[in-house]
Amino acid sequence: MGAADIVPGVSGGTIAFITGIYDTLLGSIRAFDLECLRLLLRLDIRGAWAHVNGTFLLCLLAGIATSVVSLARLIAWLLEHHPVPLWAFFFGLILASALVLLRQVRGWTATRAACLLVGVATATAIALAPALNLHFGLPGVFIAGFLAICAMILPGISGSFILVLLGMYGTIIGALKGLDLAVIAVFAVGAAAGLLCFSRLLYWLMHRFHEPTMAMLTGFLFGSLLVVWPWKQVLVWTTGSDGHPRPAQQVPVLPGEFHTLTGQDPLVPLCVVLALGGLALVWLIDHRWGGATREARTG
């Protein structure tokens, strides 16, 4: 999940879903409630730990933090020097994830089909939207954390891509690389606030309207394929926090047009291989871990 969340266009929620821990994750986050506070005030640390499924969250957060810290530099380097092959790999990853979710929607109806289309339209609108500028100090960092975390737990909506749209991606990646504790702390507080608010809504939707919600989440994944399409034309540029130009709005194009526009080799054979690798990886994760976890949960 940490590796996925670093890349603009790839959602950590997607990884949680295909590995079968999504419901457990939402339930654990939702458990930070008044009952948890009551247990803490009574100094019942063990009870509070069990109430929020603390062991699960600790292992998950440790894995995410390790991945973010260790991969931030590598992902930033790949995005700068080899973006097309990297996007091709994630295109295959997300396409396979969308097919996994599509298979889990049981009993298609007109309402569920409409939810699927709403999800596709929403993700498409986000993917093609121009970037904003949220650079007004630590309050902007807090708002960015609040909004990005909501996307991070949604399959198909990338928290990192939301940061790009808000004009805050370079700021946050720079803070992680430079260990700017003030920015990291404010971002974490905003993320925690957003997580506590949004997870309750999503948990309620998942348990009250499970199939329509699943259909909409599947639509989010299909729509987000526009974000990770390897060949893009930049329509609008912006200046990043490092002073270098960054794409603020892009649209997908065919490999031949990409070559004409940029003069770069579209690397089609390599991209096809990497996309197939992403498909195979998701199939392996879903086959080995996701299926077993879902069977254990339903059993």
- Return the closest-CA partner of residue 229 out of 8, 4, 5, 1: 8
d(CA 230, CA 254) in angstroms, rounded, equals 9
Query: Taking residues 223-235, what's their average pLDDT?
Result: 82
Positive or negative CA dihedral for 48, 24, 220, 7? positive
Query: Taking residues 120-140, what's their average pLDDT?
Result: 74
Please state, as a whole number, how many other Cβ atoms lie within 10 Å of the Cβ of residue 295: 10
Query: Is the per-residue pLDDT at 120 higher than 80?
Result: yes
CB-based contact 252:232 (threshold 8 Å): yes
Query: Is the per-residue pLDDT at 235 higher than 80?
Result: no
Query: pTM for the whole thing?
Result: 0.71
Query: Taking residues 137-160, what's their average pLDDT?
Result: 77
Model confidence band, residue 297 (pLDDT cutoffs 50, 70, 90): very low
d(CA 54, CA 207) in angstroms, rounded, equals 22
Structure-token pair, residue 85: 């092959």
Query: Taking residues 233-243, what's their average pLDDT?
Result: 62
First to last CA, the chain: 26
- Strand spans (E) along 95-241: 232-239
How is the chain split into domains, by residue range? 2-298
d(CA 7, CA 19) in angstroms, rounded, equals 19
d(CA 69, CA 58) in angstroms, rounded, equals 16
CB-based contact 180:137 (threshold 8 Å): no
User: pLDDT tens across 25-83, in order?
Assistant: 888 888 888 888 888 888 888 899 999 888 999 999 898 888 877 777 787 788 778 88
Model confidence band, residue 99 (pLDDT cutoffs 50, 70, 90): confident
CB-based contact 228:86 (threshold 8 Å): no
Secondary structure element (H or E) that encloses residue 239, with its range: strand 232-239
The neighbouring-strand residues paired with 251 are: 233
d(CA 95, CA 187) in angstroms, rounded, equals 30
